[in-house]
């Protein structure tokens, strides 16, 4: 079924127009079989009868406002950058306009993530200051972002040319090996003696990227700090060490040199909220921490709410979640879309999926995940682009919820549905609904004295927009 979905969308190029009747509410639908892929449906009319015709009610209240939305998108890994940069120029430009632009039904991605050095989705393992075994460079005399010049920098600069307001965050998978207990990019923990040099490593990265016209909006000090992979860069940094590094070195340095760059803690899964809570319990460290970043691979989204409730002054961000072959094809769409909807309901200002682009073999990669899915698949031989279920899951939010929108009250999720509502700056209201049931779900959306009812197909995702 997923293969049929992908084949259909590569042939149609994504959106498909449908004859629509003008009404109060515009509707876009994607179905798990690929028959509808962000397809415009017949408009709906509001009823002036406020009594719902179904128990599945989404109660929209624009008067109850929550977090402001920065945006949605995916990570520009080395793999993604290589594949996109290697496309013919015209095809590359068209794809970037489709992903990051809003004209001609573009998805309008406004948030992305870069890897500071190699991740598992790189063709070789590197940092920006590698040294021979046993050698050190505490003054960072060898620091250079040269490894990013071939692919990463050209693509992120081209994306910014399409969307100058694109917010760019960055995360390292490892400090340079000489800063670690392992003297290697693989495994190990950050040495206390390396704290000053590692803080300056971030400063130099921010300044080097700024010199290339790429402003860094936010950073985390370590991707997945409780995980030490054996075949690609990683580094263990426990919460006490993160707090010490932030309060003593990185926080004061960036406060002096780059106070506009956010420091986000954690950047790991929902199953250990006590780790960011430990960092935020240190007032000196918490002073420099703007927010907490989350991944989806263990635990559930309510963990975000636990940390938010304890520290409502700190922002919530969702910075990584990958689809892949471990999810049945029939469930892939609702899994991706449902996760995005739920993370926003639990306070995320921005939400990212993992690789923006991968090839037909789920790569290129060196170690790590061998069955991850990109937002688009780019055939390494032909350059053909396939839009995956993650493309459409993101599109149901990113295309309609503009930066600066505010999440508004949508009541409790009806049975077997994930729902979220927004108010854009232009006054439009957006509701996104995901059907996790085993059959069609009839749902009623109510705002004040107005209602409309919609039959959401099994495995379907719908976006409703009205002014």
Longest dimension (CA), the chain: 75
Q: Which residues are catalytic?
A: 224, 320
- Give Rg (Cα) of the chain: 22
């Amino acid at each position: 079924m997923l293969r049929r979905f992908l084949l259909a969308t590569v042939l149609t190029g994504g959106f498909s127009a449908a004859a629509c009747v003008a009404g109060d509410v515009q509707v876009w639908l994607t179905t798990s079989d690929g028959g509808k892929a962000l397809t415009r449906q017949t408009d709906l009319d509001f009823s002036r009868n406020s009594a719902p015709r179904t128990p599945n009610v989404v109660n929209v209240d624009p008067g109850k406002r929550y977090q402001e939305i920065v945006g949605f998108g995916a990570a520009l890994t080395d793999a993604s950058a290589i594949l996109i940069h290697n496309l013919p120029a015209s095809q590359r430009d068209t794809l970037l306009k489709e992903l990051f632009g809003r004209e001609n039904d573009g998805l309008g991605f406004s948030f992305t993530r870069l890897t500071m050095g190699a991740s598992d989705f790189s063709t070789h393992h590197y940092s920006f200051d590698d040294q021979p075994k046993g050698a050190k460079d505490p003054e960072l005399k060898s620091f250079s972002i040269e490894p990013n010049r071939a692919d990463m920098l050209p693509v992120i600069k081209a994306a910014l040319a399409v969307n100058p307001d694109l917010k760019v965050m960055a995360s390292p998978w490892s400090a340079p090996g000489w800063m670690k207990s392992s003297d290697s990019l693989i495994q190990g923990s950050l040495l206390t003696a390396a704290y000053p040099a590692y803080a300056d490593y971030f400063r130099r990265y921010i300044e080097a990227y700024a010199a290339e016209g790429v402003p860094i909006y936010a950073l985390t000090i370590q991707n997945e700090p409780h995980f030490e992979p054996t075949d690609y860069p990683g580094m263990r940094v426990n919460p006490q060490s993160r707090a010490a590094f932030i309060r003593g070195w990185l926080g004061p340095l960036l406060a002096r040199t780059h106070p506009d760059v956010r420091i986000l803690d954690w950047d790991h899964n929902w199953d250990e909220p006590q780790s960011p809570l430990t960092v935020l319990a240190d007032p000196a460290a918490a002073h420099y921490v703007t927010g907490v970043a989350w991944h989806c691979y263990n635990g559930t989204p309510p963990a975000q709410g636990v940390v938010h409730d304890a520290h409502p002054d700190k922002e919530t961000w969702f910075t990584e979640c990958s689809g892949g072959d471990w999810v049945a094809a029939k469930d892939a769409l609702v899994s991706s879309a449902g996760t995005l909807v739920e993370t926003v309901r639990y306070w995320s200002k921005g939400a990212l999926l993992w690789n923006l682009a991968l090839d037909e073999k789920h790569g290129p990669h060196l170690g790590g995940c061998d069955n991850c899915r990109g937002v688009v698949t780019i055939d390494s031989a032909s350059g053909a682009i396939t839009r995956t279920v993650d493309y459409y899951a993101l599109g149901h939010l990113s295309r309609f919820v503009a930066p600066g929108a505010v999440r508004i009250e949508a009541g409790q999720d009806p049975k077997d549905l994930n729902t979220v509502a927004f108010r854009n700056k232009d006054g439009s209201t957006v509701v996104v609904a995901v059907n996790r049931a085993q059959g069609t779900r009839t749902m009623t959306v109510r705002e004040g004295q107005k209602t409309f009812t919609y039959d959401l197909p099994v495995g379907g995702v719908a976006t409703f927009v009205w002014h």
